[in-house]
Chains A and B, each alone.
Chain A
Amino acid sequence: MEFSRFRAAREEVGVNLIPVMNLFVTLIPFLLLAAAFYHVGVIPTSLPSQTDETSDIAADPKSVTINLLIEPELIQISASSAVLGEEALAALSAELKKTPQGFDLDMLAKALYEIKRRFDKSDTVIVLPTDRVPYQDVIQILDRTREYTLNPDTPQEKKVPLFPVVVLSRKV
């Protein structure tokens, strides 16, 4: 009797962790197989089309199609529309020269945002890089044509969509 009391006092009360361990050992290989350590995404794009039914050129007075000519040292912004006059379209043109620090892509995004504010139904940009432009530069420029950040680094920060429909062509 004396000995059983002594034994009960000395015994540790522990949670049985073996079933939890079994579960973890099963879950971990499964999750390892399905884990993505390299996150990839895609940019949807198309080649220019001009048929009787479809065209990449805007046909609405509230929209324009942006043409972005990318040269190694210069980006030219222009607009095209089936309904707007030449003067109205010429007023939307702009140029960005490359500086020793590279292109000022914030300026590009701002210029596109101003066009989007005036023609809010616009969504298409035709990108025309020249042959020597590296692919990474094209992708970086596309990133800035997709959306514009209003009031960056403030509590009022807001992302505004610009021209998410990308048509890739080439300047010959």
Chain B
Amino acid sequence: MKGLRARFKSRKKLVLPLTSLLDMFTIILVFLMVSFQAEDKDFVLHAGLSLPVSDAKSPFKTGVNLALTQEAVLIEGKKVFKLEKGGEVKDEDFDGGRIESVVQGINQAWAQLKKEEDEENIVVIQADKGLPYRTIHLVMRSAAHAGVFRFRLVIEKE
């Protein structure tokens, strides 16, 4: 009798209780599917800035990425111009309606970007919400000297 019981025990299958794990995976999967974005955006959010909050719903469009932090202007991640304290631009740095290093930076970025012939020049501006408007406008004016008149102001959706 003892031998039979031992044989019976050894034939029992070891089954892992996967139901609770599956429940957890289902919740994670649903959450990730909601957050999923299928568009391929050639856009990297700069870590050193805090975007303004807005309810704008316009779709994203790629272009030259320009970041304006409290310390500097960066084009495609490369620092091209240092800002003064509080994100200010000194009057002497703003020569003839433009910041020369920003104009050059945008021209170089356009030269490196592979563009279709009919594609419009667009600069995508991610600027810190605490910056004074003057700084943003001076950078946009400089972009205009590089032949760019259309911009996309990046915002954090509400």
Contact = CB atoms under 8 A, between A and B. Distances in A.
State whether these chains interact.
Answer: yes
Interface of A: 3, 7, 12, 14, 17-18, 20-21, 24-25, 27-28, 31-32, 34-47, 49, 129-136, 138-140, 142-143, 146, 168-170
A168 B127 CA distance: 15
B18 interface: yes
A44 B154 contact: no
A170 B56 contact: no
Contacts of A168: 137, 140, 151
**Band of interface residues on B:** 35 or more
Given A35-B37, A46-B149, A135 B54 contact: no
A20 B56 contact: no
Interface string B46-59: 00000111111111
A28 B54 contact: no
B25 A14 contact: no
Interface of B: 4, 8, 11, 15, 18-19, 21-22, 25-26, 28-29, 32-33, 35-38, 43, 45, 51-61, 124, 127-134, 136-137, 140-141, 144, 149-157
A40 B155 contact: yes
A3 B7 CA distance: 12
Contact of B52 (A20, A21, A129, A135): A135
A102 to B, nearest CB: 15
Given A36-B35, A132-B132, A17 B22 contact: yes
B133 A35 contact: no
A123 B21 CA distance: 54
Nearest to A48: B149
Central interface residue in A21, A40, A134, A140, by most chain B CB within 10 Å: A40
Contacts of A130: 133
Given A47-B140, A132-B133, 11 more contacts: A18-B18, A34-B38, A40-B157, A41-B60, A42-B56, A42-B60, A42-B154, A43-B56, A44-B61, A47-B141, A135-B133
Contacts of B137: 129, 168-170
A32 B136 contact: no
Central interface residue in A28, A31, A41, A131, by most chain B CB within 10 Å: A41
Given A131-B132, A133-B132, A41 B58 contact: yes
Given A36-B37, A40-B157, A42-B61, A47 B133 contact: no
A154 B86 CA distance: 43
B52 A139 contact: yes
A131 B144 CA distance: 19
B133 A38 contact: no
Contacts of A40: 43, 45, 51, 60, 154-157
B25 A24 contact: yes
A139 B22 contact: no
Contact of B22 (A21, A43, A136, A146): A21
